[in-house]
Structures are given as structure tokens and as C-alpha cells.
Amino acid sequence: MIAARSSRNVVTTKMTIQTTNQMTQGDFIAESLLRSAANVVAKVAVRTPLLESPMLNERLGRRVLLKLECLQRTGAFKFRGAYHKLASLTEEQRRSGVVATSSGNHAQALAAAGKLLGSPVTLAMPLDSPAFKVARVRAHGASIVHYDRYRDDEKAVGLELARERKAVMVHPFDDPHIIAGQGTVGLELFEQAERLDARIERVLVPCGGGGLTAGVALAAHYISSHTKVCTVEPEHYDDTARSLQAGQILSNAMAAARPTLCDALMVAQPGVQTFEINRRLVSEAFVVPDSLVLEAMRLLTTELRLIVEPAGAIGLAALLGGLVPSGKGCVAVIISGGNVALERLAGLTPETPAA
């Protein structure tokens, strides 16, 4: 069963659908590909720490572990999948270059991976992408083409660029090598938790297109099957929660959708491959308002001295907001990224409360 909860009706609203947990290695991505990805990624990526805070444990009344992908190369988990994908290409494909669409984190990751592997990178980025993310992409030597995320067809924009440049299109999440690369977050998490003698009951995963969720879900399926994998999305961009409930892929109405602080999670719909994995392996889905995201960012900044972007803080926001069922079981939270403008952090101090 999949339960979807929203902060708007935490107590009274709980939607469930029937799903299946039956899955063989031949269905999607085998454990061997995740292990292979771990070997490839380990050569260049940071093995990010798994942090336990006594303050956080006491406040939430349970053991909480934070997987700090905000400390990853390029500031987010996306580097893992991007590097693994480019490393899987032939020399000829890498020389021809790659193209992708991204609001920032996938773009930065692919630009950095391309620089390491000698592959030209062209990124289609939304016009409203954070300026500092655009600057970092350019610093890695990638080319940028802008588009309107609310009016243009993101996929069509990327495919046209790939055709023009005779380059390989690298999807930000709906690709087995991307998913396997992101799955190394889960492999590390469960290995680190075992050394801490922690049996993880739930893992909360920020969810946009579902690549990180799918990768972590596969890791849990193979090595920590008792763990419930839970998606966390921002209000108005809850396409995965609604799709899981409906049993089919549903889209966000991008042209009519309200903005969210979590720009990294603003996608039109789940991926085909990610949804097929997640509909079988995800147990719960939570939807969080920006107000709780700000509260989580404030706590991470002022109490733990961590710089975390809104999308990276959304899992902790679900915990702080009481969306996650209460209990004593250990909860792991993936802090997926730390790419946030300093002026936004300045508004999180107690002296200047965030709006």
C-alpha cells in the first residue's frame, strides 16, 4: 500500500492505493549495476557523511540520521548519476558531446563530469534558474541555452539541441545509468547505518522526477528490504504522490502551477522508468508547503551549521511538520543538495525571520 499525506490535512487525509512489491533483478536495474556504479563513482565522488544530531533526536523523539549530499561534489547528489552516465558512453560519444535540460543541479553535475571526462556539454536551462547555478555551470566550461519552463516543451528543447549538435541526450533522471548512479547514495547510507548499529525504518527522499528515489528504493530492495522508502515533494509539484495514488503517470500543470522555493523539484511529471520502479517500491508519499521547508532550512543553518537548499531540506521538513507517522523507529533523511544563494540564507536567522 502507498500512503500519500499532505500537510494540509495531516490527521484526516490519508490516501492509499494497492501496489505490488514483487520485483526481480531482470525487471529493471540489477544490484550488479548499482555495485558497478558505486565502483565508478567512488573514484571521483565524495563519500558523504551520515550525521546524527542529539538535538534533532531529542526534538523529534526518535533516532534521525542525515545523509549529507549537500557536501557532494558540485553541491548535490546529481554528480553521482551524471558522472556514471558519461563514464558509460563510448569514447566517440563523449567526443561528440552531451546535451541535457536542467534548472541547475543536474546541469552543474553534468558540466563537472564533462570537464573531468573531456566531453563537451550543452545545457538547456530555464530562464528562472538561480543565477549562481548558471554561473557555476559556465565556470565548468559548459554552453547554456535558456528556455521558458512554463511555456516551452522541455523534452523537445533538449532533443532539438541534441539533434543540432549530433550529441547524446542525457536525461536528468529517466535513465538506468543515472538511476544506478543515484542509487549509490542508498548503498552508502545503508552501509553507514549498519556501522552505527542503526536499523532504518524509513528513508525520506526529496523527489522531482524520481531518479534519486528509484535509486535509493533499489538499494533498499536489495540490501535493506525492511526499510520503507518515502517520497517528499513540494506543494503544487506533487506529481509523484498523485501518480502513485492513481497507479499511472500524472502531470503537473506547469503553466498554472505556483512557484515553489524547491526549484530543483519542479518537473512536469515522473519519468517512465523511475515511475515503474517507484510504484512497486515506494511505501509513502508526503507533500510539504514552503513554510515547513523554510523551518527546516532555518534549523539546519542555525543549529547544525549546514548550508542546505530548499529541495535538500524538504525531507526534514516533513519530519518537523509531523507528516511522518510517529514512532520510535530510526528515520534517515537524504539532504540532497546545498546549492542555495547566500541572500536566501540571510533571511533564516532568528533576528530576521523568514517570510
Other residues' Cβ atoms within 10 Å of the Cβ of residue 187: 24
Give pLDDT, residue 150: 81
Considering the domain architecture, whether residues 162 and 213 belong to the same structural domain is answered as no
Considering the domain architecture, whether residues 131 and 256 belong to the same structural domain is answered as no
Considering the domain architecture, whether residues 106 and 37 belong to the same structural domain is answered as no
Give pLDDT, residue 19: 43
Considering the domain architecture, whether residues 323 and 234 belong to the same structural domain is answered as yes
Range of the domain at 112: 78-169
Other residues' Cβ atoms within 10 Å of the Cβ of residue 272: 10
Where residue 222 sits, what CATH number does that domain have?
3.40.50.1100
User: Which three-class secondary structure state does DSSP give residue 333?
Assistant: strand
DSSP state of 300: H
Residue 299 lies inside a defined structural domain of this protein: yes
Give pLDDT, residue 351: 45
Q: Which of 169, 202, 234 is the last residue of a domain?
A: 169
- Over its C-alpha atoms, the chain yields an Rg (Å, rounded) of 19
Considering the domain architecture, whether residues 94 and 162 belong to the same structural domain is answered as yes
How many residues in total does the chain contain? 355
Residue 353 lies inside a defined structural domain of this protein: no
Residue 67 lies inside a defined structural domain of this protein: yes
Considering the domain architecture, whether residues 126 and 210 belong to the same structural domain is answered as no
Main-chain phi, psi angles of 347, to 5 degrees: -85, 5
Helix ranges (H only) for 196-289 are 211-223, 239-246, 272-281
Considering the domain architecture, whether residues 197 and 281 belong to the same structural domain is answered as yes
Considering the domain architecture, whether residues 62 and 124 belong to the same structural domain is answered as no
pTM over 0.75: yes
Residue 139 lies inside a defined structural domain of this protein: yes
Q: Which of 110, 139, 169 is the last residue of a domain?
A: 169
> What is the distance, to the nearest Å, from the Cα of residue 352 to the centroid of all Cα atoms in its chain?
29
* Closest to 168 measured CA to CA, from 120, 109, 98, 118: 98
Maximum Cα–Cα distance across the chain? 56
- Give the span between the Cα atoms of 141 and 138, in whole angstroms: 5
Considering the domain architecture, whether residues 203 and 259 belong to the same structural domain is answered as yes
Pairing mode of beta strands 50-52, 64-68: antiparallel
Considering the domain architecture, whether residues 210 and 270 belong to the same structural domain is answered as yes
Residue 313 lies inside a defined structural domain of this protein: yes
Residue 351 lies inside a defined structural domain of this protein: no
Written as nine digits, the cell of 252 is 503537473
Q: Which of 131, 149, 169 is the last residue of a domain?
A: 169
Give pLDDT, residue 5: 65
Q: What is the mean pLDDT of each run of 10 residues along the chain (355 residues)?
A: 53 35 57 96 98 97 97 97 97 95 89 96 88 89 89 87 93 95 98 97 97 98 97 96 96 75 90 96 97 96 95 97 92 96 68 41
Residue 37 lies inside a defined structural domain of this protein: yes
Considering the domain architecture, whether residues 279 and 310 belong to the same structural domain is answered as yes
Residue 114 lies inside a defined structural domain of this protein: yes
Burial profile 337-349: b = 16 or more Cβ within 10 angstroms, e = fewer: bbbbeeeebeebe
User: How many independent structural domains does the chain possess?
Assistant: 2
Burial bucket for residue 307 (CB in 10 Å: 0-12, 13-18, 19+): middle
Considering the domain architecture, whether residues 319 and 219 belong to the same structural domain is answered as yes
